[in-house]
Amino acid sequence: MPLHRKVKEEIKVSFLFLFPTLLLIIIVAVYPLIYSFFLSFTQWNLISMPSPIFVGLNNYQYIFVDSLFKLSVIKTVYFLAVTIPTTILLSFSFALILNYKKFKGRSVYLGLLIIPWAMAPVVNAVQWRWIFNAKFGIFNYILYKLGIIKEYLLIFDDPTMSLLAVSTAEIWKAIPFITLLFLAGLSGIDPSLYEAAMVDGAGLINRFNYITLPLMKRVLMMATTLQIIWSIQAFDTIYVMTKGGPANQTMFINYYVWRVAFEQLNLGYASTLAYIVLFISLIVAIVYIKLVQV
């Protein structure tokens, strides 16, 4: 058999094996993506409309006057402002500690660190809802026993405390992966750099500022980018802990998309909002790529 015929036969066989997977990807990913893009230019409420009606850019124009969308964006920004710096700072601190070879029980702590990440998001949210429960929560119990509060706090009835409670749950969930990411980056730094710096008389702070931070720049940017995207797409925690309350004060943008789609059954406008979330995530990813290339 000629070589080119053999290559063609191998390509055909390879395609036959790949075809089921490609078909599945098209059905569950590509088609919904294209169809939802079409729906973003339509008005389609499942309660009152049997089929979508094309309305052009009306949905995209309505975003600018939608007060709930504006509120969800503002609350999402607050959420990002709390979760991202806290997650990065704590994760980096834990990674520095775990990277210290003489740290006793290092392997045990690494194993324990993975538990919050391995938990299902809903289980994680239920756990924190019970911790912050106004009647039985251990958080209120500890504060009360320490004399910090005189009566139990109604955490989920207060906008600020609700935001902090949801942020705490998200930070707890994100820390393990981000810590492992930082730990991998720290492990890749050549120890001889620190040894040479110590010989030259560089202290701990100088070694951190002039060796660790510069060499961890890309990992830090990657971790920050991932955390921004995850926080924008946060849903499970909000749904279980607050359902967007009180008074829509924890209704972040991704939860608002869900509410429009599955509570109001307005699939046209929900598709528009979903593409806005996708667009924001893409911008974040592009900015990250540009920064890495610098």
Q: How many domains does the chain have?
A: 1
What's the pLDDT at 281?
84
The answer to whether residue 94 sits within a structural domain is yes
Domain that holds residue 235: 73-252
Alpha-carbon dihedral angle through residues 274, 77, 229, 178, given to the nearest 10 degrees = -160
Q: For 9-61, how does the pLDDT look when each residue is reduced to its tens digit (9 = 90+)? A: 767 777 777 778 878 877 777 888 888 889 999 998 888 878 888 998 999 99
- pTM for the full predicted model: 0.85
- How confident is the model over 245-284, as pLDDT tens digits? 898 999 999 999 999 999 999 999 999 999 998 888 888 8
Residue-wise pLDDT for 106-118, tens only, equals 778 888 888 888 8
Q: Is the peptide bond before 246 cis (omega within 30 degrees of 0)?
A: yes
CATH of the domain at 162: 1.10.3720.10
Q: What is the pLDDT of residue 50?
A: 80
- Identify whether 269 is part of a domain: no
Residue 103 falls within a domain, yes or no? yes
Measured CA to CA in angstroms, residue 27 lies from 8, 41, 86, 258, 283 at distances of 27, 21, 39, 22, 26
pLDDT on residue 5: 67
- 176-214 in b/e form (b: 16+ CB < 10 A) is bbbbbbbbebbeeeeeeebeeeeeeebeeeeeeeebbee
pLDDT tens, residue by residue, 157-190? 999 999 999 999 999 999 999 999 999 999 888 8
Whether 39 is in a domain gets the answer no
